[in-house]
Structure 1
Amino acid sequence: MERQRTIRWGILSTAKIGIEKVIPAMQQADHCEIVAISSRSGDRAREAADQLDINRAVGSYEELLELPEVEAVYNPLPNHLHVPWSVKALEAGKHVLCEKPIGLSADEAEKLLSETRKHPDLKVMEAFMYRHHPRWIRAKELVESGILGKVRTIRSFFSYYNDDPENVRNKPDIGGGGLMDIGCYCISVPRFLFGEEPEQVFGTREIDPDLGIDRLTSGVMEFPRGTATFTCATQLAPHQSVRIFGTEGKMEIDMPFNAPVDQPTSIHLHTGEESRKISFEPSNQYTVQGELFSKAILEDKEVPTALEDAVANMKVIEAVVRSDIEGVWTGC
């Protein structure tokens, strides 16, 4: 039997999310082959390569981008390095899957979008992995089917506890803070489900006096068809949930963003007097994401989520921050 064509991937850095979640998941995909990993430390790169059974380890990001066997790169670097190294990857002729949020600002995101237009044969996508999980695909179908009636409001919550001053998520100068790290999901979800952009937002943030990052952020987004509210926090008990409310029903999604890969997941649907659970077989959303991106390259088709979506998400994030600073509703 002829071996399936794969896309040969290189990994920019030994970031924890890559080592623990994304790389092992992508190695399970039919069309992904991880051929190299890089770090600023050759020793760290070799250690990660040995751990993950990757053939090649290199001691710089530049060297990885020069490897002719690497066709696509996964960029899980800290937020302030997302756009610079994604641009370098494009200039080196590589496709790019970049972690969220796409950059530090909408202007940065626009810069990356502009760069992609210079390389029309290369694919670039922001790695909002949750959107590719079968449960979320079904949730959007249900919303669009009208089973909930007119969806009027969506409520999202995402929190964890991390006050380590050395953690990149707690460094404000490189894009740390709750809004950038996990609030971006809470903004992405209603945009995904409504299929439109908010017209204005109101946000409020609590800044950690020592770390200088937002540790508790809440916001309201006003869409043409309804509203969305969210809270994200980096110093609260861990919790994730999304609730969708329509004129004829509601939908509840527990653990919406970090769905377990080794057990079934579900949607709880309540319509009229009927309540039912829709179950889904175990699925690794990182595997699905890597497979879909690789197939987009192989089949030369559009990626599942266009980069324009990443730019739009950054504009809403910035509007939440402006609203908090100015104390008023702010347009996006």
Structure 2
Amino acid sequence: MAAVKWGVLGAARIGLDRVIPGMLKGTNVEVAAIASRDLAKARAAADRLGIPTAYGSYEELLADPAIEAVYNPLPNNLHVEWTLKAARAGKHVLCEKPMAMNAADAERLRACPKDRIVAEAFMVRFHPQWIRAREIVRSGRLGEVRALQMLFAYNNPDPANIRNKLETGGGALMDIGCYAMVGGRYLLDAEPARVIALIDRDPAFGTDRLSSAIMDFGGGRQLTFAVSTQAARYQRFQVLGTKARLEIAIPVNAPQGEETRILVDDEGAADGSSAVAETIPASDQYTLQAEAFGRAVRGEEKLPWGIEDSIMSMRILDALFRSETSGKWEAP
């Protein structure tokens, strides 16, 4: 299969440090160009990563007929605008999460040409540790799943950081709470019927610095999570069933190109000492994501998640934010 030629919009840190290096290892991936509104910045990024072409505007990259797919890691408030422009320019688009600022914003993506693939870059869904966790959940080894739980935090009080800017879609729920939401939807193959949140906002930034939530998936299944942008760095995802417990040790920022592990506890020792680790072979979730996207572009397979999936994600996040002020359960 001929490699898919990719172009990158912007020189965002997530792209330069994680996603593009992962993409460059893909067997069907060729990162051919990168664009920035600052040509010198684009050239520096291109030189650093060995990308052949640098453009001084996003429009120039979209006008390049050789580019087949675009990776969009721009600020959250620019995701829909430039994803639409890229798709209308004939490009397939992999856009960073969250796909939009809210559900109404995400619904604009329905105007993308139907023959273009548009997907949200939730790379965790391509990591073997999550795939294996879902296999175990589906196998019945855990019994009936009752509770899913995630704790995810980092400490970033920098007022200049984009994650702390309300106008560009910053805050804990948008940045990392979305992983808890997607993790639950992925493992359960279900959507929440109602959600509720408790949110603490930074008095200066206005963004949520600590958000806790309950998501009711029906049938006695609940996902609870707490996410913070101003707390000690930590992440863990757990699934509790009637027979056993499963734990993903590093659920989101899995080390690239390294082994990971999940823990399954069939015995239920109160201190967790009876859990048995299962080693997941070394992989890079960004490589796997790009390769899967490339196969979809070439018509070799279909991606399970597209625009409608992203709209649902934003509806859930919108409902969580509504519950902040209503103090009540909200339906997505």
Is the alpha carbon distance of 1:82 and 1:253 closer, same or farther for their aligned partners in structure 2, counting shifts above 3 Å? Answer: same
Residue 283 of structure 2: aligned partner: 283
Secondary structure of the 1:331 match is: coil
The whole-number CA distance in structure 1 between the counterparts of 2:253 and 2:297 is 26
Question: Letter of the aligned partner of 1:31 in structure 2?
Answer: N
Q: Is the partner of 2:158 in helix, strand or coil? A: coil
Distance in 1 (CA, whole Å) between partners of 2:238 and 2:64 is 45
Q: 1:275 to 1:237 in 2, by over 3 A?
A: closer
Match for 1:40 among 37, 42, 67?
A: 37
TM-score by length of 2: 0.96
**Kept in 1: contact 2:258–2:284 (CA 8 A):** no
Instruction: Determine the C-alpha separation between the residues in 1 that align with 2:284 and 2:231.
Output: 26
Q: 1:99 aligns with which of 87, 96, 101?
A: 96
Matches within 5 A, 1:1-332: 4-112=1-109, 114-116=110-112, 119-225=113-219, 226-272=221-267, 275-299=275-299, 301-332=301-332
**Number of equivalenced pairs:** 326
Q: CA deviation at 1:300?
A: 5.3
Q: TM-score, normalised by structure 1?
A: 0.96
Counterpart-to-counterpart distance in 2, 1:261 and 1:88: 31
Q: Secondary structure at the match of 1:149?
A: coil
Specify the SS of the correspondent of 1:303.
coil
1:110 to partner: Cα distance: 1.3
One-letter code of the match for 2:248?
I
Paired residue secondary structure (2:226)? strand
Identity percentage of aligned residues: 45
Q: CA deviation at 1:183?
A: 0.6
Aligned residue type for 1:311: I
Residue 291 of structure 2 aligns to which amino acid in structure 1? E
1:98–1:124: 8 Å Cα contact kept in structure 2? Answer: yes
- The answer (yes or no) to whether the contact 2:117–2:306 under 8 Å persists in 1 is no
In structure 1, runs of 5+ residues without a counterpart are: none
- 2:209 & 2:2 partners in 1: Cα distance? 45
* CA distance in structure 2 between the partners assigned to 1:275 and 1:181 by the alignment: 30
Give the aligned residue type for 1:236.
A
* Conservation of the 8 A alpha-carbon contact between 1:150 and 1:247: yes
Q: Deviations over 1:153-185 (max 9, x none)?
A: 100111101111111111101101111001110
**Contact kept? 1:218, 1:232, Cα under 8 Å:** yes
Would you say the 8 A contact 1:293–1:304 is kept in 2?
A: no
Distance 1:15 1:34 in 2: 15
**Distance in 2 between residues matched to 1:245 and 1:179, nearest whole Å:** 23
The alpha-carbon deviation at position 100 of structure 1 amounts to 0.3
SS at match of 2:93: strand
Larger mean Cα displacement after TM superposition, 266-275 or 15-24 = 266-275
Backbone CA RMSD of aligned residues: 1.1
Tell me how far 1:279 sits from its aligned partner.
0.7
Q: Deviations over 1:4-41 (max 9, x none)?
A: 41000000000001011111110100101000000010
Q: Higher mean Cα deviation, 301-310 or 100-109?
A: 301-310
| Paired letter, 2:119 | M
| Residue pair 2:238, 2:248 contacting (<8 A) in 1 also | yes
Amino acid across the alignment from 2:247: E
Unaligned segments of structure 2, at least 5 residues:
269-273
Judge conservation of contact 1:216–1:235 (CA < 8 Å) in 2. Answer: yes
CA distance in 2, matches of 1:241, 1:328: 27
- Measured in 1, the distance between the counterparts of 2:330 and 2:264 equals 33
